[in-house]
Amino acid sequence: MVYIAVLFGVFFGDLIIKRQAEQKIGMGEEYPILNGRFIIRKLHNDGLAFGRLSDYPRLIKWGNLGMLGSISLYFIWLLMHPGQRLKKVGLGMVIGGGLSNEADRINAGYVTDYVSIQSRFEKIRRIVFNISDFFIFIGSILYILGSFKRNTGK
């Protein structure tokens, strides 16, 4: 099923890239890519997005596991019904990305982030994310768009 493939593609793709980042990029090193539009650099994030709640690792770990479990159950239910393709693709992306980040938290105690957007604005330039974060964001948008679309069963 294509939706399961999306989930596993995001999960394993990001884990492979994170492993490369851990092995090949030193802390503080920066490498511009795509004509300087993006910067590859490594950051260990022991919190949620932007390092929030980093003082509460147990809350983050168990809260994320609970949320991923709930979303996964809904995803399984959704897979058993026809139509709603955008929702299914979106949830596959969200779950794959969430599981990849959660695997980092469980195994290392932090999430490895490795990409920044080059910008003249310091706040944007300081944001470091990973491919899972990108897919969680895009998957959420696809799910929301799918919620507005009338389900025709196709």
What is the residue-level pLDDT of the chain in tens, covering all 154 positions?
A: 899 999 999 999 999 999 999 999 988 888 999 998 999 999 998 888 777 788 888 888 899 999 999 999 999 999 999 999 999 999 999 999 999 999 999 999 899 999 999 988 988 888 899 999 999 999 999 999 999 976 655 5
Q: What does the alpha-carbon distance between residue 113 and residue 108 come to, in Å, rounded to a whole number? A: 13
pLDDT of res. 122 = 87
Work out the end-to-end distance of the chain between its first and last CA atoms, rounded to an integer number of angstroms.
Answer: 15
Catalytic residue among 14, 46, 104, 133: 133
| Dihedral of alpha carbons 36, 40, 43, 49, sign | positive
The answer to whether residue 104 is catalytic is: no
Give start and end residues of each alpha helix (H) in 25-84. Answer: 57-79
55 noted as active-site residue:
no
Options 46, 55, 104, 113, the catalytic residue: 113
